[in-house]
Amino acid sequence: MFYIVINPTARSGRGMKIWQDLRKELDDKQVEYRYYYTAKNHSAGTIAKCILNKDKGLINLILLGGDGTVNETVNGIAAAGDKCFERLKLCYIPTGSARDLARALELPDDPHECLRRILAADGQKIQGLDGNVSAAEERRTDLGLLTYNDAQKAELNGHRRFFIVSAGIGFDAAVCAEVAHSRLKKFFNKLGLGGLVYGFICVKGLLTAPRADCNIYMDGERMYPARDCILTAVMNHKYQGGGVMFAPEADSTDGMLDLCFTDRMSRHRVMMTFPKAYSGAHVGTKGICMDRASSLRITSSQMLYVHTDGEVATKAMDISIKCLPGKLRLMV
């Protein structure tokens, strides 16, 4: 049996239409399933935690949503207990606007093809399923874990957030915060161009985003002083922000996190360099620093926005991040 969690508001409501089409196919194929809708006070994480608490067996969970829905789910699994990662297989049908995880995993654009690959991997005979469909395979995928260290914010100190795509502090997180509340996002989603919103807001942010002096400690052995830093992106996958390839060499199965951060770059140089990041051509540009680590700590001279998979909760000035190798059972 499959548990299915649907974000009906994904891509400005298209998530519901996609689900209705997929539901017809599930019924035609006589697949056993239970489904749940996310809502403002009923997140995918809350649903995943409840399912894991009620069903103590192996869970096949299908998500219909965007990267934020995946992030909520991963944190819900963690809230149910660390061992729950071993008894849940996560299947993903992307219906969001950014599609960074789907792009990195090279998932099909067609939701029906995604569904058929998932069903073909179930190991059970399903009525009407084409025997030539390529079955999804389990991939042990790394997760990132971000911990807030800010002693001056007692309610935040020690708080943890898991992420699957990326985390960041500074400019990219500030952009994510604005995108989440942007009216442009809804407009462009209706045109099927939701990823462009990030680009529009980025241009504005590059001109106005605050800068800070940051110290980046890597694997407890190296320290890099990034001065006048505008962003530090910590990548588990190649893309974030609707297709920006911040880390062309990132591999979510290698036990490492890829870093992209700026050091002493003028706003003019940043503006000229940013478009290159869509193809990964920013690597090698003076002031753009690339590195890799399994764990790191970032301290900032001022409070900056922090995001995990594009979800922004607060500002901080001291965070720790580490890679958890092979933590998630992901069907690809």
**223-272 pLDDT tens trace:** 999 999 998 999 999 999 888 999 999 999 999 999 999 999 988 888 89
pLDDT, residue 186, reads 59
The helix (run of H) or strand (run of E) holding residue 190 is: helix 183-190
CB of 148 within 8 A of CB of 158?
yes
- Indicate the average pLDDT of the chain: 89
Assigned CATH class of 143-326: mainly beta
Q: What angle do CA 65, 56, 114 make, to 5 degrees?
A: 30
| pLDDT band of 191, cuts 50, 70, 90 | low
pLDDT, residue 175, reads 80
Tokens of 4: 């299915």
Share of the chain above pLDDT 90, in %: 68
In the predicted model, is pLDDT for residue 201 greater than 90? no
Q: What is the pLDDT of residues 133-160, one digit of tens each?
A: 789 999 999 999 999 997 666 666 778 9
The residue type of 309 is D
Tokens of 171: 């400019």
pLDDT, residue 124, reads 66
In the predicted model, is pLDDT for residue 57 greater than 80? yes
In the predicted model, is pLDDT for residue 126 greater than 80? no
pLDDT, residue 9, reads 86
pLDDT, residue 44, reads 96
What is the secondary structure of 228-269 as a DSSP string? EE-EEEEESSS-BTTTB-S-TT--TTSS-EEEEEESS--HHH
pLDDT, residue 183, reads 62
- SS3 of 97, please? coil
Share of the chain above pLDDT 70, in %: 88
Candidate from 45-54, 65-74, 150-159, 298-307 with smallest mean pLDDT: 150-159
- SS3 of 302, please? strand
In the predicted model, is pLDDT for residue 306 greater than 80? yes
Higher pLDDT, 20 or 191: 20
CB of 162 within 8 A of CB of 144?
yes
Stated length of the chain? 332
Exposure string for 13-32, b = 16+ CB within 10 A, e = fewer: ebbbebbeebeebbeeeebe
Tokens of 257: 């996190």
Q: Strand pairing partners for 86? A: none
Q: Strand pairing partners for 218? A: 222, 296
Report the distance separating Cα 262 and Cα 246, nearest Å: 12
Domain spans, the chain: 2-136, 143-326
In the predicted model, is pLDDT for residue 107 greater than 70? yes
In the predicted model, is pLDDT for residue 199 greater than 80? no
Tokens of 237: 């996958």
pLDDT, residue 87, reads 96
Candidate from 173-182, 192-201, 248-257, 314-323 with smallest mean pLDDT: 192-201
Q: Could you tell me the sign of the dihedral formed by the alpha carbons of 203, 282, 163, 137, in that order? A: positive
What's the DSSP call for residue 282?
T
Q: What CATH homologous superfamily does 2-136 map to?
A: Probable inorganic polyphosphate/atp-NAD kinase; domain 1 (3.40.50.10330)
